[in-house]
Amino acid sequence: MRRTATACLVVAAALALPRTSRADVRVFTNPDPAADTLRSLDLYGWVQPRFSWQQTDTRPEVNLQPHPSFTLRRARLGGVAKVNEWLRAQFELELSVGVELYDAFLVAQPLPEIGASAGQMRVPFSRQNMMSSRALQFPDMAYFIAPKFVVDRDIGVMLQGKAWDGKVSYAAGVFNGNDPGRNQRDNNDDYLLFAARVEATPFAPVPRFEGDLRSDDDRKKPALNVGVGAMHNRLEDKHFNRTYLGADLAFYFRGASLYAELYGRRDADDSGAPTCSAGSPGWVFHDDTTAGRTCVTAVGWNVQAGYFPDLPFARDHVELALRVQRFDPVREVDKPQIGERELEGTNPTWGYQGTTIGLNLYARRAHDAKLQASYEIRNETKACLEGQGDGTHACTGHIRNNLFLLQATAAF
């Protein structure tokens, strides 16, 4: 009952303030005359109730029988406490199921060009991972950016800054390399996660949201952001080194937006055996022995676009969106292996391709009050397995679990 009451309070607060013109709510100020600084506490938050309907997939190896449902996808409450001109603290809680700590970190910014952060925060990898979930163009981010396939948040320290008049930004950090969302607050082995990201913005400043919701004057200026990121960690309990590489591009111009991303992950055996050996490895990392180990690679890409029709009733309130994404979590698997499943039960066994059509309705030109509808056509896709096709082209089989989502967002 206490958890339900907490979630309801957050929902009520967010729905009561969808028309506020500020990105946060100032709840405390304490000027320091001696230092001529202003201490403050700002709160922000949002809720995202959702209705989902998914087709039933009766294949024995899938056996997916979902029911239409209403859920509270996210209920966030956060705050930013300004200590002085160069030091601030930030926190963010997820309240949809109990109380879960997402962010809790300090930011020291002694100079505009350089700063440092310490605590639990987003790991600098992928533009979508670094973006607030309330600012997404679709109800969810790309499939391979989910916490199942990237380290989205972790505990550590990070250095960040800008150069060349802000046209280049960078972030690099060292983290525990575990999942703090599962109460893993301490490093559970002798190794750390290293992560870095660099972004280039050669033209106009790029907003930290998806969809070209900029002002009329800003929409006339093309905005481009190109980013690359990398992470590396050693998982001692599974005896392999894990490396992530990614690149993404975001473009905005005259009400249109484009986002594209590439993702790669490789798990390489660290037992002393030949690394990434050639041949047909089949499924690997089954047990604690080193026999048969090799590399396991995952690759994925996502392309999505949006457009505000230049019509009197639609140019600020209606956005059309399209996304195509593809993901292969285990490229080395070359034989159908029922029972060894890498993806969740709502998705295909060995690969995934989705084409999503979206319609977004905004109360005003902002992400703080919107309604998103999407319909995703899903396919089972990866390199041909043994006995499929001629072995040289990708094999795609239709599956029967297409997904419809209707999600509302109210934020303050």
Per-residue model confidence as pLDDT tens for the chain (412 residues): 444 444 444 433 333 333 333 446 877 677 766 656 778 899 999 999 999 998 877 666 566 778 899 999 999 999 999 988 899 999 999 999 889 999 999 999 998 889 999 999 999 999 999 999 999 999 999 989 988 888 999 999 999 999 998 899 999 999 998 776 666 677 777 889 999 999 999 998 899 999 999 999 999 999 999 999 999 998 766 667 889 999 999 999 999 999 999 999 988 876 655 445 433 343 343 333 334 446 778 899 999 999 999 888 888 899 999 999 998 887 776 665 544 444 444 444 567 888 999 999 999 889 999 999 999 998 766 666 665 655 455 565 556 678 999 999 999 9
> Which tokens belong to 359?
């319609």
Instruction: Classify residue 193 as exposed, middle or buried by CB count within 10 Å of its CB (0-12, 13-18, 19+).
Output: buried
For the chain, which residues make up each domain, given as ranges? 2-411
CA dist 319 and 307 (Å) reads 5
- Looking from the CA of 162 toward its CB, the CA atoms found within 13 Å total 12
Secondary structure (DSSP) of 346-384: TS-SS-EEEEEEEEEEESSSSTTEEEEEEEEEEEEEEEP
If you ran DSSP here, which 8-state letter would residue 131 be given?
A: S
Token readout for 98 is 């109990």
Nearest alpha-carbon partner for 179 in 167, 189, 168, 187: 187
* SS3 state at 240: strand
Residue 277 CB partners (closer than 8 Å, separation 6+): 294
CA-derived radius of gyration, the chain? 23
Q: Give the class (CATH, top level) of 2-411.
A: mainly beta
